[in-house]
Amino acid sequence: MSGRARSTALDILLKIERDQAYSNLELNQALKAGKLNQQDAALVTEIVYGTIQRQNTIDYYLSRFVARGLDKVEPWVRILLRLSFYQIYYLDRIPPHAAVNEAVNIAKKRGHKGIAGMVNGVLRSVLRSLHTLQIPDSLPPAKRISLVHSHPEWLVQRWIEQYGAEETEAMCEANNQPAPISVRVNRLKTDRDAMLAALREHGFDARPSLLSEDGIVLAGRRGNIAHTDWYEQGLLTIQDESSMVVARMLDAQPGMRVLDCCAAPGGKTTHIAETMGDEGEIWANDIHEHKQALIEAQVRRLGLSSVRTRVGDAANLAEEFPAEHFDRILLDAPCSGLGVIRRKPDIKWRKSSEEIAELANLQLHLLIQAAKLLKRGGILVYSTCTVDPAENEQVIRRFLADHPEFTADEQADLLPPALSPNAEHQLGAVRILPHHYGSDGFFIARLRRA
């Protein structure tokens, strides 16, 4: 493993902290530009995500060894110490002395002899004290969980108030686990049993999803599924299991007119089309013009003809279409993303309670606008990839309180048996937390217009 990998990881982490860049986008861009070999690319990915995931814990420990305070050192030096600590403390396959030597070499190249000496001194002190690094059990629950599982203390306290300490700790622990790969079978071209057999024949550790009859979970990683002929031929789509529940809850039928208000990158739109047998009319709307091409690419790849794309603000859709125009409407609302921290660990360091409150107001506004376009007797599904009740249950309660023509629709017969314990029948909703099934955290509510 080369120093180049660690240097690349340092550059990526610096951009994420300094420029508020998104970890997944910055990592993909850097790996493409750097043309690293497979081993170094894997190490960069591990260091970047691992360092972000464990930042709170790492800083807690490192602060003991940086005499003038970790926040007083230059940003690149602080990040170099963090990523080096991550390798020493969390990775078994890297010899600690190699992590220290590489850090010192990077410090010499980017800084000067004095900085290299400080980095060397701090990391060698860490090595001598590894056996003493523990989080005290006596700390208050929010503080302890935030340090053990590396989440912001305000967020842990909020989740404890919403879910209790035990559920919160399980959720925080799950957020630091690798996200499994799951795929959705395109039933217009094949079926799940045939796809399972094909995957297993080629060495994939594949099992049926418990959350979707269209889903397959790939437990062992064996190459990039997006580079296979199955993917290119439109036999499957990469999609999280929880996300697949959305189209099932919408239950759109062949011939219906459907609106997906915030459709990019098109995973739910295309799933809806597949469940309708590609018969009907599906409008895929998104506010971002550059994402229209993403949706259209997925539509072409899957061989669908029922999807039409458009660019526009979901808040203005009620002015773009006639009232009561659609049989089914999906509002997959913009949200804090607190259900997908495993995939995007930087999310937990970016969000605030103030932003969550602002999002909740936006979500309610979008829901009110979308509802105007639904036919009488039609179904509106509201979904988010967050676990915060302010963006989920509270939005639905606020909407139903002011819209007596809408009722929460019992969805029990649409849910797979595994999800029944997660149903909230009074809201026509299902709530999935990340540690329940190893999937993304999701909230899905089904509303019917009288």
Q: Which residue has the tokens 């509802």?
A: 371
Extract the tokens encoding 5.
């990998």
Please choose, from the candidates 216, 158, 225, the residue with its C-alpha nearest in 3D space to the C-alpha of residue 191: 216
DSSP conformation letters of 167-206? HHHHHHHHHTSPPPEEEEE-TTT--HHHHHHHHHHTT--E
Which letter does DSSP use for residue 406 in this model?
E
Answer yes or no: is 429 a known binding residue.
Answer: no
- Residue pair 353/158 in contact (Cβ under 8 Å)? The answer is yes
Is 385 an annotated catalytic residue? yes
What residues contact 322, with CB distance under 8 A and at least 6 apart? 373
DSSP conformation letters of 226-285? GGSHHHHTTSEEE--HHHHHHHHHH---TT-EEEESS-TT-HHHHHHHHHTTT-SEEEEE
- Residue pair 233/201 in contact (Cβ under 8 Å)? The answer is no
Cα dihedral: 155, 435, 267, 187 (round 10): -170
- Neighbouring CB atoms inside 10 A of 377's CB total 10
Answer yes or no: is 417 a known binding residue.
Answer: no
Answer yes or no: is 251 a known binding residue.
Answer: no
DSSP conformation letters of 325-339? -EEEEEEE-----TT
Answer yes or no: is 372 a known binding residue.
Answer: no
Q: How far apart, in whole angstroms, are the C-alpha atoms of residue 45 and residue 21?
A: 15
What residues contact 415, with CB distance under 8 A and at least 6 apart? 245, 248, 249, 423, 430
- Residue pair 270/220 in contact (Cβ under 8 Å)? The answer is no
- Among residues 172, 261, 335, 385, the one annotated as catalytic is 385
Answer yes or no: is 401 a known binding residue.
Answer: no
C-alpha 172: how far from its chain's center?
Answer: 14
Please choose, from the candidates 36, 56, 55, the residue with its C-alpha nearest in 3D space to the C-alpha of residue 47: 55
How far, in Å, are 42, 142, 182, 192, 263 from residue 412 at the CA level? 42, 35, 24, 23, 25
Work out the burial of residue 156: count CB atoms within 10 Å of its CB; fewer than 13 is exposed, 13-18 middle, 19 or more buried: buried
Q: How far apart, in whole angstroms, are the C-alpha atoms of residue 15 and residue 23?
A: 9
Answer yes or no: is 313 a known binding residue.
Answer: yes
Greatest CA separation for the chain: 74
Answer yes or no: is 198 a known binding residue.
Answer: no
Answer yes or no: is 264 a known binding residue.
Answer: yes
What residues contact 376, with CB distance under 8 A and at least 6 apart? 324, 449, 450
Answer yes or no: is 40 a known binding residue.
Answer: no
Answer yes or no: is 266 a known binding residue.
Answer: yes
Catalytic residues, by residue number, are 385
From the annotation, which residues make up the binding site?
Answer: 262-268, 286, 313, 332
From the annotation, which residues make up the binding site for S-adenosyl-L-methionine?
Answer: 262-268, 286, 313, 332
